[in-house]
Each structure stands twice: as structure tokens, then as C-alpha cells.
């Protein structure tokens, strides 16, 4: 989720080392590990956003007029460009975002490339006309048709600055829309990278545009007249986006926060669970809405699982800013690092037990020590608030019902995982969890699947991204009914009479009565009208 930056002067940048909005209208893109200023990016004046959207709307008309195969070819050239330049792109992402090059490839590039390719190739099939058979009017022609909504506004976060906007950009473009997107002020450099990749891949000019700045620019985009908003970020900001969009009845897709639970049952493969939960909680420095933030472990295996988790952490994890094989980068920005460290400090001061803590590099980077902890109680900030950092808290439970209740006792409902060898039991529990996505014996894997819908319930969002639903979600759905003159009866037209009323009642019986005999008798009574219509004297 994106966190709002505070406007600062360029003079204070070296000390604070988070993206700076300068007095002369620039964002300073900075390396969170070193404080190095990477580039100065001009801010888009909020008053100019409507103009950018209007220009994109003109380009969209030409883009939408292209046949599917030409749009597919243009998009696949972009995915090929990403493939051909993976090394340099990964380096750019890692440098501005703070993640390792390994995770820039694994968690950003691989998914982004696949999303563009998959949506480009899937659009024609997903958006072709769909027949809608009518049992009351079997001879009529009835179908759905799809056309692009127009211009889609995409507001992206800093934690996954490439794959998250591409999750909306790819289906929106494949469906024939233009896109105007705003990267987070903490990842504006990656926003420029996206623009550059599309341009250098020969993508049609004007169809993908970007605007840069803080919250005021994002608000301007929401109210600019775009036809759909795809927002990924904090729950608090998502509510503001929805409030603003409601004024113009602009549809929104909101992918928001999470406090995702993992449930380790007594029969789980503990080595596998420890390995999966360790990665699910610590990868990307825990800066993932679907990160494991609560681990519920059956009391019968609690101690054994705890020890395995700590053992694996000690064996496999290291954090060294100078080592390219380091498992961890830095946090993306000072604000988020401070939030996570404050949650951890609060928990320790109130009696939580630190089971594992990784030593951080001895420099001024935005680092939080990956930590495994138990003894967390309800009075600690860590208990209920989203952490968005590398802290894994453990909690014992005594029954599956208790674990389900604890997992559901949260305002969030993005994803969850269950660890068990009993797949039937795992699926039963999965159906009981209040979450948009549940995985069994894995965690945080499905966001990388283009075919799999992604999104949450409760305070975790509205709507779904990815899958064929995303292509249709960025389309206007039109229903067309064609009376082909093959139904002689018109019981709904004037003049009303007793014969038509009897026919309507019999139709209701023929289609819905629980008795087969009653349905058959009613069908025989209406059949003459179906075949020959009503007599004039009726």
C-alpha cells in the first residue's frame, strides 16, 4: 500500500532519504538504502490532469478501433521488451524501491511480463459476444456484447511499483481502453520506467499516459472524468477514493490492506509450513498486503513448529546491503520503517517474546530487523493493526473452530492460508474463512497467476483484479435482445384479456411448479398459444 509522503525541501533530502517534493515542483527519486538522489521528476500540476485524460481519450478511440490481433501484437512487443531488458529493469526497480534484484525479478518482472502476454492473448476470447439463452423466449436471439469503457485511471502503490500497476494496465489496454496512471511518489522513477518501456517497445503514442505527484494529483485523477478507477493502497486512502468517485458515479476497483492469517493444523508438514510461512511473512521485507501477519498454530505442535521456524530463519536468512546474495533489501521509505519499528517496540515493552531477530546492516538505510515473536496480546498495536513489515507473530489455538474465529476476527479479509495434510479438512476451513483468497499449503502465491482473481472482502477492498473478470470489468456490458418474429403469442401486449391471463399463470406453473404432473399439464395448455398465438375473439 502506498503511504502519503510529506512535502519537504530539497535541503532536507539527504537526511530523511524519502521521496521529496521540492518547492520548485519536482519529486526527488531516492535510493532508500543509501540516500542517493537518483533523479528529479517533474510533478504534474493537478490542474493539468484533466487535459492528460482528454488527450488519452482521443488516443483511445484509435486504439479501440484496432482489431484484437493488432492490440495483442502491440502489447506482446511490450512484454518482449521487458524480457529483453530484465537485468537493467530489475536493477532500476531494486535501486529505487529497496528490494533485492532477486525479488525484483521474482516478484515484479516475471508476473508483469506474464500478465501483459496473457491478457493480450485472452482478450478476444473473453470479450466476444456471449449468447444468453432464454427459456421463456427460446426462439429469440439474446446476447451480451462488450466494448471498452474509455479511459481507466490507475493509482499504484510503492511496494510493488511494476507488477501492481501492470495488473490493471494490462487488462485495461487489452480490452481497448486508454490508461492514465499515477505511480506513488515513493516510486515515481519506476513509473517513468514503465512509460519508457512502452514507448521504446513501439506502443501507440498517447494510449498509456502517466501523471506524477502526491495525493493532490491522485485526487485530481479520480475526479478527472476517467471511466473507471483501479486503486491499490491503504484502506484509509481507498475510502477517500471511493468517496470522491461516488460524486461522478465512477466505478472503482479497490485492492487495499490486509492482516493475513496462516493456520497450521496439527497434521501439517511442519517443515513445509515453516518454509512457506517464513517466505510469506518476510519476502519483500513484509511490505505486501497479503503478507503473513498472524500465524495460528495448533497447541499440540506449537513448540515444535516454533522451533522449526526459528531454526530455518537462522539457517537461511541474512541481511547484508553489500552482498548481492542477501535475502533482504531495505524498507522502501522512512515512514513505513518507523511504523513497523514502533509496533515492534510497543509489543516488546508490553511483554512479547522475541524468538528471532536478524541483525541489520550498520548503515543509515531504512532497515527493520526481520523478527519472529510470540506472546502478543490484544493491547499491543501489533495485534490488530496492519504491520506491513517483516514481523511474524505466533499464536497457539486448541481447535479448528477457535482458529477460524480468530482468523475471522479482523476488519481485513484479503487472503489466508491453511497448512494441513488433510485436503478435505483444509477446503472445509477455507470455505469458513472471511477472505477473498485462501490457499492450502502455500501462501502469497496466487497474486502471480494471471488467471486467478485477486481481491478481498471487508476493509481489504472491492472488486477483483486479474483473470477474465478484469477484462470484462474494464468493459461496458451491453445486453441485446432480438425478437425474430417466431413467437406468435404476445401475451404481454394489448389488449389484455382472460385467455392471456390464464396463459401467463400456466407459464408460471409450467416453468416453476415442484410437481412434474402440474408442469406437464400446464405445458400442454400453453402449447397451442406458443404454436398459433391467441384467437382474435380471445
Q: What is the set of active-site residues?
A: 255, 289
Residue 17: C-alpha distances to residues 26, 185, 230, 307 (Å): 15, 13, 29, 37
Helix %, strand %, coil % for the chain, to 5? Answer: 45, 20, 35
Tell me how far the alpha carbon of residue 353 is from its chain's centroid.
33
Residue 300: C-alpha distances to residues 266, 297, 308 (Å): 6, 8, 14
**Which single residue is written with the C-alpha cell 496473457?**
118
Contact yes or no for 20/10 (Cβ under 8 A): yes
**DSSP state letter for 10:** G
**Alpha-carbon distance 181 to 195, whole Å?**
10
**DSSP state letter for 436:** S
**Alpha-carbon distance 267 to 161, whole Å?**
38
Contact yes or no for 389/370 (Cβ under 8 A): no
Count of other CB atoms within 10 angstroms of residue 458: 17
Q: How buried is 295 (Cβ within 10 angstroms: 0-12 exposed, 13-18 middle, 19+ buried)? A: buried
* Among 417, 406, 392, 374, CA closest to 262: 417
Tell me how far the alpha carbon of residue 163 is from its chain's centroid.
10
Contact yes or no for 131/83 (Cβ under 8 A): no
Count of other CB atoms within 10 angstroms of residue 267: 15
Amino acid at each position: 500500500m502506498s503511504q502519503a509522503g510529506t512535502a519537504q525541501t530539497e535541503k532536507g533530502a539527504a537526511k530523511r532519504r524519502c521521496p521529496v517534493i521540492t518547492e520548485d515542483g519536482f519529486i526527488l527519486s531516492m535510493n532508500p538504502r543509501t540516500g542517493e538522489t537518483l533523479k528529479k521528476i517533474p510533478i504534474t500540476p493537478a490542474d493539468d490532469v484533466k487535459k492528460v485524460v482528454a488527450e488519452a481519450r482521443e488516443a483511445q478511440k484509435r486504439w479501440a478501433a484496432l482489431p484484437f490481433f493488432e492490440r495483442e501484437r502491440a502489447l506482446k512487443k511490450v512484454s518482449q521488451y521487458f524480457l529483453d531488458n530484465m537485468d537493467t529493469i530489475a536493477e532500476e526497480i531494486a535501486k529505487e524501491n529497496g528490494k533485492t534484484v532477486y525479488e525484483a525479478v521474482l516478484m515484479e518482472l516475471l508476473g508483469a511480463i506474464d500478465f501483459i502476454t496473457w491478457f493480450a492473448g485472452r482478450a478476444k476470447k473473453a470479450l466476444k459476444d456471449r449468447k444468453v439463452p432464454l427459456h421463456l423466449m427460446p426462439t429469440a436471439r439474446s446476447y451480451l456484447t462488450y466494448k471498452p469503457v474509455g479511459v481507466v485511471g490507475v493509482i499504484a502503490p510503492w511496494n510493488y511499483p511494476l507488477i501492481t500497476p501492470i495488473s490493471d494496465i494490462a487488462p485495461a489496454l487489452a480490452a481497448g481502453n486508454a490508461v492514465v496512471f499515477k505511480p506513488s511518489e515513493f516510486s515515481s522513477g519506476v513509473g517513468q520506467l514503465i512509460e519508457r518501456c512502452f514507448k521504446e517497445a513501439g506502443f501507440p503514442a498517447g494510449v498509456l499516459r502517466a501523471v506524477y505527484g502526491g495525493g493532490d494529483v491522485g485526487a485530481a485523477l479520480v475526479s478527472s472524468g476517467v471511466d473507471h478507477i483501479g486503486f491499490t493502497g491503504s484502506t484509509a486512502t481507498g475510502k477517500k477514493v471511493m468517496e470522491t468517485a461516488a460524486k461522478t458515479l465512477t466505478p472503482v476497483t479497490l485492492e487495499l490492506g490486509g492482516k493475513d492469517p496462516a493456520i497450521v493444523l496439527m497434521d501439517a508438514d511442519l517443515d513445509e509450513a515453516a518454509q512457506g510461512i517464513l517466505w510469506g511473512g518476510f519476502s519483500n521485507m513484509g511490505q505486501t498486503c497479503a503478507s503473513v501477519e498472524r500465524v495460528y498454530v495448533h497447541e499440540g505442535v506449537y513448540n515444535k513448529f516454533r522451533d522449526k521456524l526459528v531454526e530455518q530463519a537462522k539457517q537461511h536468512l541474512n541481511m547484508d546491503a553489500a552482498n548481492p546474495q542477501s535475502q533482504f533489501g531495505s524498507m522502501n521509505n522512512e515512514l513505513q520503517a518507523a511504523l513497523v519499528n514502533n509496533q515492534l517496540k510497543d509489543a516488546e515493552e508490553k511483554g512479547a517474546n522475541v524468538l528471532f531477530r536478524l541483525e541489520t546492516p550498520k548503515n543509515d538505510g531504512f532497515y527493520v530487523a526481520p523478527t519472529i515473536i510470540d506472546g502478543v496480546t490484544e493491547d499491543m498495536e501489533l495485534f490488530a493493526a496492519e504491520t506491513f513489515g517483516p514481523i511474524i507473530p505466533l499464536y497457539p489455538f486448541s481447535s479448528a473452530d477457535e482458529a477460524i474465529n480468530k482468523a475471522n476476527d479482523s476488519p481485513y479479509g484479503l487472503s489466508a492460508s491453511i497448512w494441513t495434510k488433510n485436503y478435505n479438512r483444509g477446503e472445509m476451513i477455507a470455505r469458513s474463512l472471511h477472505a477473498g483468497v485462501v490457499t492450502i499449503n502455500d501462501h502469497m502465491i496466487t497474486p502471480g497467476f494471471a488467471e486467478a482473481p485477486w481481491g478481498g472482502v471487508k476493509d481489504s477492498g472491492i472488486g477483483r483484479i486479474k483473470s477474465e473478470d478484469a477484462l470484462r470489468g474494464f468493459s461496458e456490458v451491453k445486453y441485446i435482445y432480438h425478437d425474430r418474429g417466431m413467437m406468435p403469442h404476445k401475451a404481454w401486449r394489448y389488449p389484455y384479456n382472460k385467455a392471456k391471463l390464464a396463459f401467463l399463470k400456466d407459464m408460471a406453473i409450467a416453468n416453476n411448479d415442484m410437481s412434474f404432473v402440474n408442469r406437464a399439464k400446464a405445458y400442454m395448455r400453453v402449447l397451442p398459444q406458443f404454436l398459433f398465438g391467441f384467437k382474435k375473439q380471445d
